[in-house]
Amino acid sequence: MSTKLRAKMVIDKDFQIARVDNRIYGSFIEHLGRAVYGGIYEPEHPLANEQGFRKDVIELVKELQVPIIRYPGGNMVSAYNWEDGVGPKSERPKRLELAWRTIEDNQVGTNEFMDWGKAVGADVMMAVNLGTRGIDAARNLVEYCNHPSGSYYSDLRRKHGYEQPHRIKTWCLGNEMDGPWQVGHKTAEEYGRLAVETAKAMRLVDSSIELVSCGSSNTMMPTFPEWEATTLTHTYDAVDFVSLHQYHGNAENDSPNFLAKSMETDHFIRTIISTCDYIKAKKRSKKTMFLSFDEWNVWYHSNESDTKIDPWSVAPPQLEDVYNFEDALLVGSMLITFLKYADRVKMACLAQLVNVIAPIMTENNGRSWKQTIFYPYMHTSVFGRGIALQTVNSSPKYDSKDYTDVPYLDSTAVFNDEEESVTVFAVNRHLEESLILNADVRSFEGYRIVEHIVLENDGDLKAVNTADHEAVKPHHQGQSKLDEGMLEVVLPKASWNVIRLAKN
């Protein structure tokens, strides 16, 4: 194995960051575009089950092993009346959905989505409306979902055919309330006060729930990170997480700069951690605030086509990004970044799951398929469970338009102590040359290479997957060898790599 570019890594089982909360591999379904109608739910589809959910989509989601799914929004939740989506379907109203200017017919609501979550093996992260509504609607929804019986809303759920409570554990206090685009947009003071009082009421109904306070919608917001500092002054003692949202794009077609954008994600996380810890110190608290990166992805391909959609239609194709190969590389780097902060990032939701900026695409009354980003998401979800390790990396670097000292190697490792295995996730950002990675794994005595999965595409960064042709898919012929505790791996140019080791 010879090349001009070499990188080094030390992986030691005692250098532990934290046990990975599996919920960092979560996702998101919003009542937006064809995510629900035509995505997960299509009663007329030949593969629909008795409830109208597409069984082909269920199987693809199960392949991803998604542990938690955020629902029902997103921007949509800020003008949503949850009562519209429960009870007999024939009696549910059609509403003007203000966030995306469509018609919502409410044929899927809380109970149906809970059934779908069970079908795919995922918990649900429920969001409440703090835009047009507030304390009363939120506490009533908790009662409807989580209280066993003997009260108005719990008995209403039972009347609707759900005898047992849903026991939803994780709840979002609104969505992107810092954004002027949000229906019911709030100032930081307004949101902080409303959120803490809503949290109080929700916990009085069910003291076992976890709550997520709205953080900044992105790092370009003029209020970032003062928004977090102000809102957490109110909510710090009442919530368990603060949210982060971030999307990346490559509209300028600058691939080296695009592949470095996970460094912006790293900066975002570090800034929010420091802001949370400032409020912790200010309050002289012993409580640590955790992060929920509950919206993240690549999003820019569909921007132009979305401007041409006629308003007030039902489930039009919105935000249907067709992902290319380089998008998959950045998605892999973002997942690596979350693992590097496993001590603080405890939840994350790839936005979204089906059709809308999603790893899974469908045709109405037709086929389903895997987008390019499906693969790094699946690999980390399946193999990235256990203890995140603090690796020591050394790599050649480059400068791009917006970033300096970008390492060609983006990598981390997860030790599964139960299965006695360790997985290395690695992106080679170099577009022209392979990279030799020499990793010291001597603390894993008696381990062998199980497999080396590679996602590469021979330099075609713009290749996409369609229903007719899967141009981008992983292979298992990666070049790697292990000799006396020293691992040597060839990372092909512009590639995503999964190297799995296990004890003999």
- pLDDT tens-digit readout, 256-305: 999 999 999 999 999 999 999 999 999 999 999 999 999 999 999 999 99
d(CA 379, CA 359): 13
Within 10 A of 308 (CB to CB), how many other CB atoms are there?
A: 7
Q: Tell me the pLDDT of the chain averaged across its residues.
A: 97
pLDDT at 38 over 90: yes
Segment 98-112 shows an average pLDDT of 97
Segment 227-249 shows an average pLDDT of 98
Contact in structure between 40 and 27 (CB atoms under 8 Å) = no
Contact in structure between 73 and 129 (CB atoms under 8 Å) = no
- Give residue 3's pLDDT: 54
Enter the pTM of the model.
0.96
Domain ranges of the chain: 6-13+389-503, 21-383
Query: Phi/psi zone of residue 83: left (φ > 0), alpha (ψ -120 to 50 degrees), beta?
Result: alpha
- Give residue 2's pLDDT: 46
| Cα distances (Å, whole numbers) of residue 159 to 80, 82, 166, 323, 406 | 22, 16, 14, 44, 58
pLDDT at 382 over 90: yes
- Give residue 458's pLDDT: 83
> Residue 371 is encoded by which pair of tokens?
């987008």
Q: Which tens digits make up the pLDDT trace of 179-231?
A: 999 999 999 999 999 999 999 999 999 999 999 999 999 999 999 999 999 99
Give the pLDDT band of residue 459 (cuts 50, 70, 90).
Answer: confident
Looking at 143, 176, 320, 326, which residue is catalytic? 176
Q: Which tens digits make up the pLDDT trace of 303-338?
A: 999 998 999 999 999 999 999 999 999 999 999 999
Would you call 68 exposed, middle or buried from its count of C-beta atoms within 10 A (0-12, 13-18, 19+)? buried
Would you call 122 exposed, middle or buried from its count of C-beta atoms within 10 A (0-12, 13-18, 19+)? buried
CATH of domain 21-383: 3.20.20.80
- 40 backbone dihedrals φ, ψ, rounded to 5°: -80, -25
Q: Which tens digits make up the pLDDT trace of 402-436?
A: 999 999 999 999 999 999 999 999 999 999 999 99
- Give residue 432's pLDDT: 95
Within 10 A of 473 (CB to CB), how many other CB atoms are there?
A: 12
Which of 503, 304, 318 has its CA nearest to residue 416? 503
- Give residue 1's pLDDT: 45
Q: Which CATH superfamily is domain 6-13+389-503 in?
A: Golgi alpha-mannosidase II (2.60.40.1180)
Looking at 42, 104, 295, 456, which residue is catalytic? 295
- Percent of the chain residues past pLDDT 90, beyond the cut: 98
For the question of residue 176 being annotated catalytic, the response is yes
